[in-house]
């Protein structure tokens, strides 16, 4: 299994906002494995193979990532149909993508940078003794 990139994590987070209606005030953190999210202090699993809503959210996240890479919305819709997703699902994903504002795409790019800085290193703690022991 490939290690998820900062783009994968940020796109999944934004897909959750777009598809499931979380607002900007709802802080979502996508774990490094992209299999779990932290939302409202609760850890939730992402299971695209067992949950249709998760599958649609992951599909939306993947198409967001492809769009950031330069693929146009119409081409993404055609690719989803060609992959067997069905016209209704492809239209729904397309509509979500088109509804994302320019400002939201900019915030997504900022979030990619934020996840890119999340390198998993522990926060260093000083071992210098303070005071007399």
Q: Break the chain into its structural domains and give their ranges.
A: 6-116
Q: Which helix (H) or strand (E) holds 88?
A: helix 87-99
Give pLDDT tens digits for 18-37: 877 777 777 889 998 899 99
Query: Where do the DSSP E strands lie in the chain?
Result: 28-30, 36-39, 42-45
Q: What pLDDT sits at residue 6?
A: 93
Give pLDDT tens digits for 103-123: 989 999 999 999 998 766 555
pLDDT band at 133 (very low <50, low <70, confident <90, very high): low
DSSP assignment, residue 3?
P
Q: What distance in Å separates the CA atoms of residue 41 and residue 28, rounded to the nearest whole number?
A: 9
Instruction: Supply the angle between the helices 52-68 and 87-99 in degrees, to the nearest 10.
Output: 50
Tell me how crowded residue 38 is: count the other CB atoms within 10 A of its CB: 13
Q: What pLDDT sits at residue 96?
A: 86
**C-beta separation of 29 from 38 below 8 A:** yes
Question: Is 8's pLDDT higher than 70?
Answer: yes
pLDDT band at 77 (very low <50, low <70, confident <90, very high): very high
Q: pTM to 2 decimals? A: 0.81
Share of the chain above pLDDT 70, in %: 86
Strand pairing class (36-39; 28-30): antiparallel
Question: Is 129's pLDDT higher than 80?
Answer: no
């Amino acid at each position: 299994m490939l290690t998820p990139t900062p783009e994968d994590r940020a796109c999944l987070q934004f897909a959750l906002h777009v598809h499931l209606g979380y607002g900007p005030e709802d802080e979502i953190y996508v774990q490094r494995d992209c299999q779990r999210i932290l939302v409202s202090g609760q850890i939730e699993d992402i299971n695209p193979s067992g949950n249709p809503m998760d599958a649609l959210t992951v599909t939306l996240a993947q198409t967001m990532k492809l769009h950031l890479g330069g693929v146009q919305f119409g081409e993404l819709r055609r690719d989803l149909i060609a992959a067997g997703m069905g016209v209704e699902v492809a239209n729904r994903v397309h509509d979500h993508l088109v509804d994302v504002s320019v400002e939201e795409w900019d915030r997504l790019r900022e979030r990619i940078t934020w996840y890119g800085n999340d390198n998993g290193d522990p926060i260093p703690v000083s071992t210098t003794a303070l005071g007399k022991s």
